[in-house]
Amino acid sequence: MHAFHYRNGRLHCEEADLVQVAETHGTPLYVYSARTVRDHYRRLDQALGDLDHLICYAVKANSNRAILRLLVEQGAGFDIVSGGELYRVIAAGGDPARCTFAGVGKSREEIEYALAEGVFCFNVESEAELDYINRIAAAKGVRAPIALRVNPDVEAGAHKYVSTGRSENKFGIALDRVAAVYEAAARMSGIRIRGVQMHIGSQITDAQPFADAIAKVAPLVRAFRERYAIEFLSIGGGMGIVYESSFESGRRDWWEPSTSGEAPHALTIDEYAAATLPALRALGVRILLEPGRLLVGNAGILLTRVRYLKQAEQKKFVIVDAGMNDLIRPALYQSYHEIVPVIEPAGSNRERVDVVGPVCESGDFFAQDRELTELHEGELAAIMSAGAYGFVMASNYNSRPLPAEVLVDGARVGLVRERQTYADLVRGEHDF
Ligand SMILES: *Cc1c(COP(=O)(O)O)cnc(C)c1O
């Protein structure tokens, strides 16, 4: 899906000219492509074919109501990790009965809220949590639907902060413990066993870890299908996307990985399906998937304007108006985002620079020692692949108002979240 491309010398999102969008809505500004979100959802849905499945979009990747609404219209379910996310899904018109509730530290209020709304399933991460949910549900005279999150202990994930399926991670219940916990769950009056869940990590660009994890939990699923009549296996999310194409160095279309081999290999939806489908079909239960990044990551960019250029002794800095408070991924995960000028460069003047924000932290950078097309004061640049784990992690650090968000669908451009004002910064604060 080619949502971002140069046309008439300017970067467009679908049919929308990003120079105009920036003039109307200001910068820093998140811009999302509706067609890309729909396209990615449909491609995954189609790749799974006639397999009995439900795609539960991981809301934490991008929880803007308009994005959720798009996915509601596609028929998606949702994977939520908090009461707040459940509230957002409902506000977007989503059905709680298609929501799975994950997370290692659910509170009493969240469990009661999710029970009252009738979520599809609680994905339980520890014996203590199982016990707690049981007591809350039993006191209300209901049974909470649950799946245990199994930790299959496989190596996956691009960075140690996003690997979740190893035995040393805080997530899930170890394979050799899980049968005993299911047995305990079966005896609880406030619990109804409904499925098995796993999620091995994020930004995984190789199909093998997914296949390995499925192979490890498959015997459990078979045993539990007989013993507890479980209905589903959720294989989690974690499918990686292309962050580094050759767009930055002059290709004119974004997203499709380069074919010449200079960009790292990306996991395609078809490879993912080919590696997992045979084993999944053989299980004979419904399959849930929880993709976040795959659906929205390459559907969004962060538009920013160059404020100053600064030539230091060793380095040249391009100081932009977006900061780590708007997009923290480079600071948090050392992650890579391509940066391209919005006005298509005429020549090929390139220079080695650091692209940094205005926040008072040395970690406030978007690129370090990177060869980029020359950028000048006042020019617009696009920080690519910012649709997932972008705005959702934004903060008011340095008392910077949260950026606005815009959704593009064809030629239509809609403001889907207003830029915060200074008044918003002090709202809710009190003198003492
Ligand atoms: C974060 C998360 C996901 C989504 O991960 P992506 O890498 O964005 O696909 C899915 N399931 C669970 C349990 C998660 O915590």
* pLDDT tens string 186-221: 999 999 999 999 999 999 999 999 999 999 999 999
Task: Output the pLDDT for position 158.
Answer: 54
Q: Among 261, 289, 317, which residue terminates a domain?
A: 289
57 Cα: distance to centroid of ligand 1 (angstroms)? 9
Q: Which of 353, 150, 326 is nearest to 233 (CA)?
A: 150
237 Cα: distance to centroid of ligand 1 (angstroms)? 5
Torsion (CA) 178, 182, 185, 191 in degrees, nearest 10:
110
- Relative to the CA of 294, which ligand 1 atom is closest? 9
> CA angle, corner 59, sides to 170 and 149, nearest 5?
35
DSSP 82-101: SHHHHHHHHHTT--GGGEEE
Task: Output the pLDDT for position 262.
Answer: 46
pLDDT at 281 over 70: yes
**244 and 384 belong to one structural domain:** no
Is residue 74 one of the residues assigned to a domain? no
290 Cα: distance to centroid of ligand 1 (angstroms)? 6
Task: Output the pLDDT for position 244.
Answer: 85
Task: Output the pLDDT for position 265.
Answer: 58
- Relative to the CA of 239, which ligand 1 atom is closest? 9
Instruction: State the total domains in the chain.
Output: 2
The conformation of residue 299, written as its DSSP 8-state character, comes to G
Name the band, by pLDDT with cuts 50, 70 and 90, for residue 348: confident
Ligand 1: residues with CB < 6 A are: 58, 60-61, 79, 102, 199, 202, 236-239, 290-294, 388
pLDDT at 48 over 90: yes
CATH of the domain at 413: 2.40.37.10
Rounded to whole angstroms, the Cα distance separating 147 from 112 reads: 17
**132 and 206 belong to one structural domain:** yes
Distance of alpha carbon 154 from the chain centroid:
21
**281 and 374 belong to one structural domain:** no
Rounded to whole angstroms, the Cα distance separating 220 from 239 reads: 23
| Domain boundaries, position 181 | 103-289
121 is catalytic: no
**380 and 328 belong to one structural domain:** yes
- Distant-in-sequence, close-in-space partners of 182: CB < 8 Å, separation ≥ 6: 148, 193, 224, 227, 228
Q: Among 234, 260, 289, which residue terminates a domain?
A: 289
- Work out the average pLDDT over 136-147: 98
| Ligand 1 pocket mutation pick from 37, 44, 79, 204 by most atoms within 8 angstroms of CB | 79
Is residue 55 one of the residues assigned to a domain? no
**268 and 184 belong to one structural domain:** yes
**371 and 272 belong to one structural domain:** no
Is residue 144 one of the residues assigned to a domain? yes
Which position has the higher pLDDT, 167 or 361? 361
**235 and 322 belong to one structural domain:** no
Give the length of the chain: 432
Protein residue with its CA nearest to atom 8 in ligand 1: 292
pLDDT at 257 over 80: no
Rounded to whole angstroms, the Cα distance separating 233 from 177 reads: 18
Protein residue with its CA nearest to atom 3 in ligand 1: 237
Q: Are 371 and 410 in contact (CB under 8 A)?
A: no
* pLDDT tens string 64-119: 999 999 999 999 999 999 999 999 999 999 999 999 999 999 999 999 999 999 99
The one catalytic residue among 13, 99, 121, 360: 360
**138 and 233 belong to one structural domain:** yes
**285 and 310 belong to one structural domain:** no
- Work out the average pLDDT over 117-139: 97
Mean pLDDT (the chain) is 93
The radius of gyration of the chain from alpha carbons, rounded to an integer in Å, stands at: 23
404 Cα: distance to centroid of ligand 1 (angstroms)? 24
Q: Helices 34-47 and 65-74: crossing angle, nearest 10°?
A: 40
Task: Output the pLDDT for position 245.
Answer: 77
**274 and 372 belong to one structural domain:** no
Is residue 318 one of the residues assigned to a domain? yes
Is residue 89 one of the residues assigned to a domain? no
Is residue 20 one of the residues assigned to a domain? no
Rounded to whole angstroms, the Cα distance separating 100 from 237 reads: 13
This prediction has a pTM of 0.95
Task: Output the pLDDT for position 408.
Answer: 98
- Relative to the CA of 389, which ligand 1 atom is closest? 8
CATH of the domain at 279: 3.20.20.10
Q: Among 289, 316, 337, which residue terminates a domain?
A: 289
**309 and 220 belong to one structural domain:** no
Classified as helix, coil or strand, 189 is coil
> CA angle, corner 281, sides to 280 and 285, nearest 5?
80
Distances (CA, A) of 36 to 17, 120, 270: 17, 27, 17
**399 and 368 belong to one structural domain:** yes
Distance of alpha carbon 169 from the chain centroid:
19
Name the band, by pLDDT with cuts 50, 70 and 90, for residue 330: very high
Task: Output the pLDDT for position 409.
Answer: 98
- Relative to the CA of 293, which ligand 1 atom is closest? 8
Name the band, by pLDDT with cuts 50, 70 and 90, for residue 160: low
Percent of the residues in the chain that have a pLDDT greater than 70, as a whole number:
92
206 Cα: distance to centroid of ligand 1 (angstroms)? 16
